[in-house]
Amino acid sequence: MKTKPFSRARAVALVLVAGGAVASPAAGQALKNEMVWDLEQVADKYLALAGAIPVSDYTWRPGEGVRSVGEVFMHIVSANFGIPGIMGATRAEIPEGWARGDAEGLDPEAAVEALRASFDYVVAFVEGLDESQIEGEVTVFGRPTDGHGFLILLTTHLHEHLGQAIAYARVRGVVPPWSS
């Protein structure tokens, strides 16, 4: 049996079919589902860690000009309430003083409450994204991308600062509750 040569037309058709599968609406929904799951997991870790760190350590910082423990949590609350605005969400009200990051007098209970509210907000925002928002173009901090890029930025930012908070906690003698 003689096989047909792999023509340029066949190659183009194959790429178009494969590309259509990748960019299908199901792909956007799958990404959204994964991001919601990830946000819920990272939220649980932030809430547990914020509650485990003693109030006396909330103002500790590893060096001058670096965020303190409490300021890291405040930054996450501000970001969770603010970053969805890039995609057109109504900006939620950030607790007074939190946007500028003044952690003096912040206690774990207030941090946990604010973190919980901010994660509830950001999860609801992601759950509410439709296909056109996920596939559509958006500019994030001056960089053109799409909803996929936005969601990746959203979650990587949270993981970056979770790692920072974990390192701070361990330096202060606090073992993250999920790893003990």
pLDDT tens for 137-156 read 999 999 999 999 999 999 99
Domains by residue range for the chain, with CATH: 25-179 (1.20.120.450)
The predicted structure's pLDDT at residue 162: 98
Closest CA to 102 of 70, 64, 79: 70
The answer to whether the beta carbons of residues 138 and 147 sit under 8 Å apart is yes
CB atoms within 10 A of CB 155: 18
More reliable by pLDDT, 105 or 57: 57
Q: What is the pLDDT of residues 31-51, one digit of tens each?
A: 899 999 999 999 999 999 999
Q: What is the pLDDT of residues 46-82, one digit of tens each?
A: 999 999 999 999 999 999 999 999 999 999 999 999 9
More reliable by pLDDT, 26 or 99: 26
Closest CA to 121 of 113, 132, 109, 131: 113
Burial 49-73 (b: 16+ CB within 10 A, else e): bbebbeeebbeeeeeeeebbbbbbb
Q: Where are the beta strands (DSSP E) in 44-162?
A: 137-140, 143-146
